[in-house]
Amino acid sequence: MAEYAKSVAALCTVPVDAPQCESEKWVCSLCGYIYDPAEGDPAHDVAPGTPWEKVPATWSCPLCGVDKEMFKKAQ
């Protein structure tokens, strides 16, 4: 396997030290609110630095209240 491919594969399998994975933003498909992992949502018990996968399933859009399922990965 090429070294390049190995390093890319490693980026998303290591839970810590993977800023590329943790910095993925998610957008509410209803109101356009953007969840930024770097900021989290402290007002709703989501600490800054929380990746999308770690946001509780009970969390909902702070603007319009829809479920996590209504969010799409930002391009």
Q: Which of 33, 36, 39, 68 binds Zn ion (CB under 5 A)?
A: 33
Q: Tell me how many residues contact Zn ion (CB under 5 A).
A: 7
Quick one: tokens of 32?
A: 């356009």
Stretch touching Zn ion by CB under 5 A, among 8-16, 20-28, 38-46, 51-59: 20-28
Q: Does residue 74 interact with Zn ion by CB under 5 A?
A: no
Q: Does residue 64 interact with Zn ion by CB under 5 A?
A: yes
Q: For residue 30, what are the CA distances in angstroms to 19, 58, 64, 69? A: 27, 17, 8, 11
